């Protein structure tokens, strides 16, 4: 069990937001982003493949575009989470369609859990999280301390 320690500094402003959507959910994510464009204009946006291009076009703001999810984009976002370079993950995934890269998706969601990153997997949750005063104001996130785990794990 990991201990929990307070970060010594608040999360960065502007927030660093990763946006991901399966093919069947891309239009829903774009609609959500346009609806919340004023708030998102004050963030640093990261997105996988086609989603990033669509967001940039719809919002008219720069988006850090990574690889397509199945080609490693999900893993790139996971790496950014582990490096503490992502503060918030919006991942509209499609529960009705099997995904060939499902292990990558699970790994991404696992990393968000490991590092205590807020995750919105549908529009309702994304609306609640982005409208929270904690999203726009100073917030000190707690993160787990894996020192004990790392000391007993063979390398």
Q: Residue 48 in contact with residue 20, Cβ under 8 Å?
A: yes
Provide φ and ψ at 145, rounded to 5°. Answer: -105, 110
Query: What residues contact 61, with CB distance under 8 A and at least 6 apart?
Result: 40, 41, 45
Instruction: Please indicate whether residue 145 is annotated as part of the active site.
Output: no
Indicate which residue of 6, 23, 31, 74 is catalytic.
Answer: 74
Read off the tokens for 17.
């937001």
Alpha carbon distance 115, 147 (integer Å): 14
Alpha carbon distance 107, 138 (integer Å): 29
- C-alpha distances (whole Å) from 11 to each of 50, 60, 117, 122 are 28, 25, 11, 23
Which residues have a catalytic role annotated? 74
């Amino acid at each position: 069990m990991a201990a929990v320690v307070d970060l010594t500094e608040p999360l960065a402003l502007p927030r660093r937001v990763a946006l991901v959507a399966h093919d069947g959910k891309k239009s829903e994510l774009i609609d959500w982003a346009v609806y919340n464009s004023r708030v998102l204009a004050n963030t640093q946006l990261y997105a996988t493949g086609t989603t990033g291009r669509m967001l940039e076009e719809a919002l008219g703001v720069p988006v850090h575009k990574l690889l397509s999810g199945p080609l490693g984009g999900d893993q790139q976002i996971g790496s950014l989470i582990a490096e503490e370079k992502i503060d918030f993950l919006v991942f509209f995934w499609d529960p009705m369609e099997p995904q060939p890269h499902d292990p990558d998706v699970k790994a991404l969601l696992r990393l968000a859990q490991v590092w205590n990153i807020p995750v919105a997997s549908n529009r309702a949750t994304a609306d609640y999280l982005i409208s929270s005063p904690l999203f726009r104001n100073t917030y000190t996130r707690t993160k787990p301390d894996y020192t004990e785990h790392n000391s007993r794990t063979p390398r």
